[in-house]
Structure 1
Amino acid sequence: MIDIASEVDAVRRMVGGRATPTGEDRTVHLQRSFAVPVVDVWAACTEPARIGSWFLPVTGDLRVGGKYQLVGNAGGEILRCQPPRLLSLSWVFGESTTGLELRLSEDAAGGTVLDLEHSVALDEHWAEFGPGAVGVGWDMAVLSLSRYLRGRPVPDPVSWPTSAEARDFVTRAAGAWGAAHEVSGAPTGDATAAAARTRAAYAP
């Protein structure tokens, strides 16, 4: 059994904005601490064999300027890599190209603070789902990473996403993104409705 409430509450969620040459993007930002050293989290997030153990198999030319592809999901270009602190990627999914940045820092206890920021377009998709469309997906990935680092992987990654536990996780995470959306300045009604649509999309 997974303590769903504790896992959801362990993540700090923030929504912001970023100016671009064509206008403004929205940023979906997750922060979580792990009781393991930075080098261990970096290895889990950058070594292909380990990435496939908690996220998705990855292929490509895994160096700055090279292309990567997550099996059945997004691909893109590796823009910056400063081991063991910073990884910046373009994130191409379908016809959408967005940006992803992973930052690791050491906390006072010698553990790791992970900051993951995904920049997305301020478009119709955002208007419908808000930050949760991207945020809940990353919540699930961060949950999987957390359990992998503790040697307690998510039980049966094939069937778990359709389990009652996963539905509870998605419901709570979508609500948390709705709250973060409201804190960022979105009207309460809009944030609540977008969170509800996100929850329905992930757990119909």
Structure 2
Amino acid sequence: MIAKPTGHYALKPDGLYLQFDRLFHAPIVDVWFSLTNPTAMQSWIGTYTGSPATGGVRFIMSAEPDAEWENVSILECTPPYRFTADAGSGDNAWRVFCHLVEGGGLTTLTLGQRLNRAADAPSIGPGWDYYLDRLSAARRGMALPEWDHYYPAFSEHYRSLNVPDAARR
């Protein structure tokens, strides 16, 4: 697999997001499982402890050498179509959403992370490209991609994205 940057800006009512799309040849419930089951998540991003039904879990990213457990608030969860969550606190807080749509035997995943400022995109974008490519590789039983192919190589793509005018205000 040849990695390439895929993120783009999306302006939503609650802010500017960096958004990514991936297409899977799988039923929506299968992709949902990969995104929400703590054991399945270990193969590509991390894991969590606790019960999502309570509205909160503790999450850790597995490919980050200095990762720490973070509190995650689940703001919305509509299986197998969407979830929105807030992770971390203070200056390190971040919001992420996942939306899934199935049609014609394919499932489209749209993932977005709200940005505190557009200048964060060159460091955040390569990370999501990396993790989503890890998800694709893990689901196919392929070797996981290497971080060095993503950062800093993809940073220029994210620096060159045009910020929507409404987000500049």
Structure 1-normalised TM-score? 0.67
The yes-or-no answer on 1:146 pairing with 2:136 is yes
CA shift for structure 1 position 103: 0.4
Amino acid at match of 1:97: A
What residue is the counterpart of 2:116 in the other structure? 121
Change (3 A) 1:115 1:140: same
What residue is the counterpart of 1:81 in the other structure? 77
CA shift for structure 1 position 28: 0.7
**Cα offsets for 1:97-146 (capped at 9, x unmatched):** 221110011143x1111100111213xxx43xx41222111111101000
8 A Cα contact 2:18 2:125, kept in partner = yes
CA distance in 2, matches of 1:172, 1:184: 24
**Would you say how many aligned residue pairs link Structure 1 and Structure 2?**
159
Identity %: 25
Amino acid at match of 2:74: I
The yes-or-no answer on 1:174 pairing with 2:155 is yes
**Cα offsets for 1:179-204 (capped at 9, x unmatched):** 4x22646xxxxxxxxxxxxxxxxxxx
1:17 paired residue among 11, 20, 34: 11
Unaligned runs of 5+ in 2: 62-66
8 A Cα contact 1:62 1:68, kept in partner = no
Unaligned runs of 5+ in 1: 186-204
What residue is the counterpart of 1:39 in the other structure? 29
Amino acid at match of 2:9: V
SS at match of 2:141: coil
Larger relative CO (CA 8 A, sep 6+): 1 or 2? 2
2:56 paired residue among 44, 63, 66: 66
CA distance in 1, matches of 2:56, 2:90: 19
**Cα offsets for 1:61-99 (capped at 9, x unmatched):** 322522332252443111111111101101216643221
Amino acid at match of 2:92: S
CA shift for structure 1 position 32: 1.3
- Greater share of residues in helix: 1
8 A Cα contact 1:68 1:78, kept in partner = no
CA distance in 2, matches of 1:139, 1:59: 25
8 A Cα contact 1:44 1:50, kept in partner = yes
CA distance in 2, matches of 1:52, 1:141: 11
CA shift for structure 1 position 27: 0.8
Tell me the C-alpha RMSD between the 2 structures. Answer: 2.4
Amino acid at match of 2:109: L
